[in-house]
Copies of this chain bind each other. A is one copy, B any other.
């Protein structure tokens, strides 16, 4: 990944006060003091080209990131190459916290699209907790929320059938993107291929393809040109045993 100092050009604004994400309804407001600290905490901004690694599974870089634009995913692999995608990352998601603490083997993070990132130094995290406990609280919030996301994926992988898994993935990602204000006409950008879906759902590529086709033929969704359109959200909800929850604003670092 190319890391450039905050002063140089890039999709992340030079100053956090100009952050495009903060104006969204999806994120908590911060005080000017907090905003100032976050800006100072940021050590740079980065760009990761689609398909490149943001955090290597073997050599974690110890940095922290906020995904500013684009999609990414977290994953783990077995030594013979079998890969499991742990969850997908969307703008606003905080990246890299687990590698700081986890005592299990780490995970990798890879960009799905060209992605813009805010970079934070790992050593600065303690300062953040000390100087702005409210931000520390936010970090914990984000961490717990991340765990909740993986919990859901574990339920999906362990106990849902292939069709239920696919339905779950489609709705869940749709809802997350929608919350960022990026859904139009029941349609979102959907920059993942069938191999990614298979690896996220613990299915084979072939079976993923067949299941996807079946749901499409039933008129539940349409997947074309990197865009996903939900044609029958109700049926997808029912199939996935998915329940919409009241939206809450989440912290943003």
Contacts and interface: CB of A to CB of B under 8 A. Distances in A.
Interface string A115-154: 0000000000110011001101101110111111111111
Task: Count the copies.
Answer: 2
A228 interface: no
A154 B148 contact: no
A2 interface: no
Interface residues of A, number: 55
A140 B251 CA distance: 15
Nearest to A154: B154
A229 interface: no
Contact of A151 (B100, B129, B140, B150): B150
Contact of A150 (B105, B150, B243): B150
A104 B201 contact: no
29 contacts: A76-B154, A76-B155, A79-B241, A80-B241, A82-B160, A84-B159, A98-B144, A98-B147, A100-B144, A101-B140, A101-B148, A102-B144, A102-B145, A103-B248, A103-B250, A104-B148, A104-B149, A105-B245, A129-B129, A129-B134, A129-B137, A130-B133, A133-B136, A136-B136, A140-B140, A143-B144, A157-B158, A157-B202, A158-B199
Interface of A: 74, 76, 78-80, 82-84, 86, 97-98, 100-105, 107, 125-126, 129-130, 133-134, 136-137, 139-141, 143-155, 157-160, 199, 201-202, 241, 243, 245, 247-248, 250
